[in-house]
A and B are shown apart, each in its own frame.
Chain A
Amino acid sequence: MTVRICILNYGMGNLRSVEKALEHVGVMATISSDPETVRAADGVILPGVGAFPKAMQRVRELGLGELIAERRAADVPILGICLGLQLLFDSTTELGGAAGIGLLPGGVAELAADGLKVPHIGWSPVRWEKDSRLTEGIPTETPFYFVHSFAPSPEQGDLLGSAAYGARFACAAERGNVFGVQFHPEKSSAAGLRLLSNFAGVCAATPTPA
């Protein structure tokens, strides 16, 4: 059966490339913020670019915070990408600070970068910090494409991947069926497609709630 993944649309970010990449790996992808469409999906992707506080405001206005928490409670796999990953954490320091959705314990802060220019834009090798269904078949230190100024600090047990830009930072997290990556898998060539395909595999293996 074809895996259905809903890409949450809250008006921030270019969602077409995520949709196309999912279609490329055989997923039936939809872009929506409609609760019934989201509930009908085997998995949910929270994308996003831009500023955290404004994004959270949009997420709240659309009631997506509750919806994502509800899907989490039903154990539906969730993948945050870039800003979407950050939103899954408790809070950020960006633009005076804001609360996040809070599925992943920890905060988000500006990259230390150790004197390098922020934002960090470009390909950087990612080191896997633990084994995961999300990263199966992707060698550690495989490069992924990044565009960001902030990064999360997950709990040690949730830390899935890290990369170096001046200083080392967390760039992937996993807690149960909640996943997040700071890089853009949809722009990261074959490795990115593999990661999305792995996520679809997690969705397929998770029984759909009644």
Chain B
Amino acid sequence: MILYPAIDIRGSQAVRLLQGDYRRETTYDADPVDAALRWAGEGAQFLHVVDLDGAKAGEPRNLDAVKRIAAAAQCPIQVGGGLRDAAAVDAALDAGAERVVIGTAALRDPEFLDAMLAAHGDRVVVSVDARAGKVAVEGWTEATDSDVAETVAELSKRGVARFLCTEIDVDGTMDGPALDQLKEIAAATSAQIIASGGVGELSHLESLASQAPANLEGAIVGRALYERRFTVAQAIAALA
């Protein structure tokens, strides 16, 4: 499995939120490029970059930081947050993103999703974020009635090759990933799944690697890396 160190940008700084709550934020790096250089320097094979301001605003707000991260990090990056039209997606790719992560718009605007899949294929990751098994949208500020596994199954049929699945209630807690939910989601599709939320110890990564189905492709780790609970190299070894 691939480790995706997370770099969430808000107000041009690298921050972590607790359970997606914009009021419970911790700043870790004044310049997110420092975080990118640190994780890439420790051997990260991919970085997960989120424009939190963009997610809330509905359009990219930190493209300049994305551009600087893409140039500085010696590894590919995927970028999400506020990518809701073709121009925003193109701008993220032009900024140097290898993959774009589309959330709200993929769920609300099937035509947009189809167009992005036709234009960018496997470079498109669809983010399906969940609270108690239901899909959440609009920078996680809004809940829906849609079942996560059903949503993933449906979007797979449209040609989505990779999903990013976040369990909001465990995100930022470091209490462990929502393994059962991940298994249920992974079973609903043959697409690749990146798990996000809750990783706080190496044992969490080890259990993801050992218990997860074959299409669980990677795991996003945020706070635990920033708080130096383990290194990128240790995390990669735990996922191997």
Residues of A at the B interface (CB closer than 8 Å) are 14, 16-17, 19-21, 24, 117, 119, 121, 123, 143, 145, 147, 184, 186-190, 192-193
* In contact, B98 and A147 (Cβ under 8 angstroms): yes
Contact of B74 among A19, A121, A189 (CB under 8 A): A189
Q: A14-B96, A117-B122 are in contact. Are A123 and B45 (CB under 8 A)?
A: yes
Q: A16-B96, A123-B45, A143-B45 are in contact. Are A186 and B122 (CB under 8 A)?
A: no
Which residues of A are found within 8 Å of B133, using beta-carbon distances? Answer: none
Bound together, the chains give a CA A24 to CA B36 distance in angstroms of 14
* In contact, B75 and A14 (Cβ under 8 angstroms): no
Minimum C-beta distance from A2 to chain B (A): 20
* In contact, B71 and A121 (Cβ under 8 angstroms): no
Task: Assess whether B113 is interfacial by the CB under 8 Å rule.
Answer: no
Residues of B at the A interface (CB closer than 8 Å) are 2, 40, 43-45, 67, 70-76, 96, 98, 121-123, 161
* In contact, A17 and B70 (Cβ under 8 angstroms): yes
Q: Considering only CB atoms, which chain B residue lies closest to A117 in the complex? A: B122
Q: Considering only CB atoms, which chain B residue lies closest to A196 in the complex? A: B74
Inter-chain contact total with CB atoms closer than 8 Å? 51
Which residues of A are found within 8 Å of B96, using beta-carbon distances? Answer: 14, 16-17
Bound together, the chains give a CA A14 to CA B75 distance in angstroms of 13
Which residues of B are found within 8 Å of A192, using beta-carbon distances? Answer: 74
Bound together, the chains give a CA A16 to CA B69 distance in angstroms of 11
Q: Considering only CB atoms, which chain B residue lies closest to A24 in the complex? A: B74
Q: Considering only CB atoms, which chain B residue lies closest to A187 in the complex? A: B76
Which residues of B are found within 8 Å of A147, using beta-carbon distances? Answer: 98
Bound together, the chains give a CA A122 to CA B44 distance in angstroms of 13
Which residues of A are found within 8 Å of B123, using beta-carbon distances? Answer: 121
Q: A121-B122, A147-B98, A190-B43 are in contact. Are A16 and B75 (CB under 8 A)?
A: no
* In contact, B45 and A186 (Cβ under 8 angstroms): no
Q: Considering only CB atoms, which chain B residue lies closest to A16 in the complex? A: B71
16 A-B contacts (beta carbon < 8 Å): A16-B67, A17-B70, A17-B96, A19-B71, A20-B72, A24-B74, A117-B122, A119-B122, A123-B45, A143-B45, A145-B76, A187-B75, A188-B74, A189-B74, A190-B74, A192-B74
Which residues of A are found within 8 Å of B44, using beta-carbon distances? Answer: 189
Minimum C-beta distance from A23 to chain B (A): 10
Which residues of B are found within 8 Å of A123, using beta-carbon distances? Answer: 2, 45
Contact of B71 among A20, A119, A188 (CB under 8 A): A20
Bound together, the chains give a CA A147 to CA B93 distance in angstroms of 14
* In contact, A187 and B122 (Cβ under 8 angstroms): no
* In contact, B98 and A189 (Cβ under 8 angstroms): no
Which residues of A are found within 8 Å of B67, using beta-carbon distances? Answer: 16
Which residues of A are found within 8 Å of B74, using beta-carbon distances? Answer: 17, 21, 24, 186-190, 192-193
